Structure 1
């Protein structure tokens, strides 16, 4: 690429949107496919428009390049995306506003297909709207990825599809590295009678809580009664090895 005709102009554009020096390389890496002065030419206008709507600078600095770049140099495309997000109920000052704008920017044409997929997963229109309002990014996860997680959450754990819609971020987490280890610990504690259904929110507290909080509440607290809990959480011991009769699937009805 030409230093004078492309690289330097792109750098100047990136700096006009308030990107700190330390984050410029990250922005360039994320936008390398769009790293042309002609493509980035509308970024300054788009950022100015967001600032006029009082979008916080703290969130603008975290904005993904794909959110700010439109295929057309015409401002109407970006402005239309912004207005669409606002019409969905997102306030420009909210943390989720730029997440929703990112989804609309990169997936607008696929949203109808995605909504149909989630209907097949058992979600109602209200479930989809609720999940999108809570964390729009979940809808960018591939259908294959979501299918395996929904299958586990609904058919293995026994949650209702609507339960998952209340916590859409769970669909972003890894099934093997995050969801299954936590459920394995919870399942052992339930079968041993050390915890009871209704004491906590299974998804909100156990499956989505911070790692240190989970370890403190569900592993360290019961390590004397079940010394294997940490190894179960780390995937070093499988549930059948404990001999607790896991042939029968104990389903969680309401937690």
Structure 2
């Protein structure tokens, strides 16, 4: 009510209830519905027949399931109140023409809908920039690169400054980005703490991390430190040799339980 007082004058039975019933019918729980509408109540003032239902139909056609449409709703409910024909549909058609598969388009809509809702001129420029950097539209890394570059004026610069403190050149940063685009979406604190542990405590060369930037995507406390602690014990006991170490393998390999 504080965010959108006009909800108070809406007809409860004819305007609000049909929308709530429709959203529940596609798998939205009442708790999730309450949370999202508390932050985006203006959705309730959009037409069910001309806005909300067509948005749902289009999204389901792209992501192929109600579950994923609900995920989109929970992450980006404002997509249900925007003009799909103005931005979203032209942008989706652009990446389709480039050969982006359904799975990557679904990823783009589910996790990065704010990018798809940008004006086509901005979106087209962003796609062109990602292509020029050598990313393949048929791979999910293309979508991740779009996400990283869309905030280039803010997060990118902060990450760039943090990596340069560890001696990375512009080429090192680009190599790291091409290997793992989300390495340019980390906080400065996360970068500094992870680099400090890997370089100063584990003795790995900073430039080698640039070529294995995927390691920067893992939790320092939950993954990197525990695994590296085991490695250090093995080294001390002579059960592993220094030259046998492969940082990328140690940190990124998925370990199945016995």
TM-score (norm 1): 0.75
| More helix per residue | 2
Pairing partner for 2:123 from 47, 67, 78: 78
Residue 24 of structure 1 is matched in structure 2 by 69
CA shift, 1:128, in A, is 0.3
Q: Which gives a bigger RCO, structure 1 or 2 (Cα 8 Å, sep 6+)? A: 1
User: What CA RMSD, in Å, does the superposition of the two structures yield over aligned residues?
Assistant: 2.1
Structure 1 unaligned blocks of 5 or more: 217-255
Aligned length: 209
Q: Which runs of 5+ in 2 are unaligned?
A: 1-43
- Is 1:165 the equivalent of 2:210? yes
Once residues 84 and 153 of structure 2 are traced to their aligned partners in structure 1, the CA distance between those partners, rounded to angstroms, is: 20
Aligned partner (choices 152, 155, 164) of residue 108 of structure 1: 152
Conserved? CA contact 2:56–2:80, under 8 Å: no
Higher deviation after alignment, 160-169 or 32-41: 32-41
Q: Secondary structure at the match of 1:62?
A: helix
1:98 is displaced (CA, Å) by 1.2
Q: Secondary structure of the residue that 2:107 maps to in structure 1?
A: coil
For 1:238, the equivalent position in structure 2 comes to none
Cα separation, 1, equivalents of 2:235 and 2:245: 12
1:43 aligns with 2:91: no
Contact 1:13–1:40 (Cα < 8 Å) also in 2: no
The change in CA–CA distance for 1:206 and 1:113 in structure 2 (over 3 A counts) is: closer
TM-score, scaled relative to structure 2: 0.74
Q: Within 5 Å, give how 1:103-182 maps onto structure 2.
A: 103-105=148-150, 107-110=151-154, 111-182=156-227
Q: Equivalent of 1:93, from 138, 142, 146?
A: 138
Q: Is the 8 A contact 1:189 1:195 kept in 2?
A: yes
